[in-house]
């Protein structure tokens, strides 16, 4: 008797149709982690680059380095920007204290802002 799609297929039939490995093989998938870490020194850049090369997303707190030397912050951010471009990744500022850097397979959404010649409203 043909089914009308009213009843759920058996677990065995569902497993046969998926390309997913069985539950016991979940470690077969590569995982992407979101990691937060401070940028304390320019020597931290290599570890940051390695994390991104391994496919992880990093949120960097730049305040520790900024409190020491603002010029080093500029050098670090420029180097990370060039690195992100070289691997096809993405990088963006998150407020005043943080930067996010992503590997090639992840993009950062940016709101498109229309440019207007109208003056911005101000508080009275």
The range of the structural domain enclosing residue 94 comes to 30-102
* Candidate ranges 25-34, 91-100, 107-116; pick with highest mean pLDDT: 91-100
In this structure, is residue 19 part of a structural domain?
Answer: no
| SS3 assignment, position 85 | helix
User: Residue 100 pLDDT > 90, yes or no?
Assistant: yes
Least confident of 35-49, 52-66, 99-113: 99-113
What tokens does 11 get? 């677990």
Which CATH number goes with the domain that contains 69?
Answer: 3.30.110.150
Q: By C-alpha distance, which of 92, 103, 106, 108 is closest to 48?
A: 103
Terminal-to-terminal C-alpha distance of the chain: 76
Q: Mean per-residue pLDDT for 54-67?
A: 96
Q: Mean per-residue pLDDT for 68-76?
A: 96
In this structure, is residue 6 part of a structural domain?
Answer: no
DSSP letter assigned to residue 25? G
Q: How many domains does the chain have?
A: 1
Q: CB 89: neighbour CB atoms within 10 A?
A: 21
In this structure, is residue 25 part of a structural domain?
Answer: no
In this structure, is residue 110 part of a structural domain?
Answer: no
| pLDDT score, position 28 | 42
User: Residue 3 pLDDT > 90, yes or no?
Assistant: no
pTM over the 0.75 mark: no
Pairing mode of beta strands 90-94, 98-102 = antiparallel
In this structure, is residue 84 part of a structural domain?
Answer: yes
User: Residue 92 pLDDT > 70, yes or no?
Assistant: yes
What tokens does 78 get? 């420029």
| pLDDT score, position 111 | 85
| pLDDT score, position 25 | 47
Least confident of 6-10, 91-95, 107-111: 6-10
Could you tell me if residue 5 is left (phi over 0), alpha (psi between -120 and 50 degrees) or otherwise beta? left
């Amino acid at each position: 008797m043909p089914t009308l799609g009213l009843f759920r297929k058996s677990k065995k039939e569902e497993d046969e149709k998926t390309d997913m490995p069985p539950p016991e093989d979940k470690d077969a998938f590569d995982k992407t982690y979101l990691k937060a870490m401070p940028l304390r020194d320019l020597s931290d850049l290599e570890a940051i680059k390695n994390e991104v090369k391994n496919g992880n997303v990093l949120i960097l707190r730049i305040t520790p380095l900024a409190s020491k030397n603002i010029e080093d912050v500029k050098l670090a951010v420029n180097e990370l920007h060039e690195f992100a471009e070289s691997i096809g990744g993405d990088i963006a500022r998150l407020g005043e204290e943080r930067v996010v850097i992503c590997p090639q397979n992840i993009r950062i959404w940016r709101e498109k802002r229309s440019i207007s010649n109208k003056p911005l409203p101000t508080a009275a």
